[in-house]
A = this chain, B = another copy of it.
């Protein structure tokens, strides 16, 4: 049984997940699952994954675990947390622990093994954003869970262990420190200004127009003022909204447009760059609030995190976000230009 443990000084929770026992030397080489030709996420291999919890199919027959899916969500075969059991909270002297209860799922973003999320056609990418919402809504019914984390690791350097394009979901019985800190920071700004700090950021970014990467009617992509890594980007809805899982399909069409453009701009700057993205939304079963604003944070993985960042939560970033935004704003157009040059030269 995995275990959740809380650091008594910082209040930081960690998961001790021992699904396979390991000896020290097992850590030396990082395992890549699904290598060697066989991919458990490919159509036809549905029986090699746990039974699906959601799938969108193209012919609407919806026969469970059949191969005609476009997006498929399955429990992780090697979950960090397990779904059955009670929380079993207990103390041990000054320490707190509970059972590692939670959900750990894999969102398979395309049936085609070679597809990259960045280049999915919009009518397919939108299904991924809907799947995120529909899974959160479903897990919201389980009173043991307080938060659902959605994230994607692209590229080995960013932690991906399977090649086939996928993102992950973890439902947690506690609030992660990131969301606790973000809610607290946003609330303290709201108390002082009576405005949402994210709404104020969007207003200032549009007005200054030096860190805006792209925008459409409903969304904006910026390089944040204090980015942790070169090319860090945030995608935010322009109109205040605190809860991702309450958005409807109409909004997701615009989200797809901007997400796709944002990732293609990044790829045009540095082809195939590894990245992580994480959805930041409200805790489960919360009413809509005025001080928090859901968004995605995209963090390219370029520089390695060394001692300084590790110990201090303090980052050194060699590229100002204004410069990153400039590169990103010009990247697609420049690439287009290069292709045209090649065309005329050939």
Give A residues with C-beta under 8 Å from B. 3, 5-20, 22-25, 27-28, 30, 80, 93-95, 149, 151-153, 157-160, 168, 170, 172, 176-179, 181-182, 185-186, 189, 197-198, 200-201, 204, 208, 224-228, 230-231, 269-270, 276-278, 280, 297, 299, 302-308, 310-320, 327
Contacts and interface: CB of A to CB of B under 8 A. Distances in A.
Nearest to A303: B27
A12 B304 CA distance: 19
> Within the oligomer, what is the number of copies of this chain?
2
A299 B310 contact: yes
29 contacts: A7-B225, A7-B226, A8-B185, A8-B189, A13-B314, A14-B314, A15-B317, A16-B320, A20-B318, A24-B230, A24-B327, A80-B308, A94-B201, A149-B311, A151-B308, A151-B311, A151-B312, A153-B307, A158-B306, A159-B306, A159-B307, A160-B306, A172-B314, A177-B314, A178-B311, A178-B314, A179-B312, A297-B311, A299-B311
Contact of A319 (B11, B22, B152, B319): B22
Given A201-B94, A313-B12, A18 B319 contact: yes
Contacts of A18: 318-320
A168 B309 CA distance: 12
Contacts of A30: 303-304
Contacts of A230: 22, 24, 27
A168 B116 CA distance: 40
A14 B320 CA distance: 11
Contact of A197 (B6, B8, B170): B8
From A16, A17, A198, A311, name the one whose CB has the most chain B CB atoms within 10 angstroms.
A311
B311 A270 contact: no
A310 B278 contact: yes
Given A8-B201, A185-B11, A318-B22, A276 B16 contact: no
Contacts of A185: 8-11
A278 B312 contact: yes
Contacts of A176: 312-314
A14 B149 contact: no
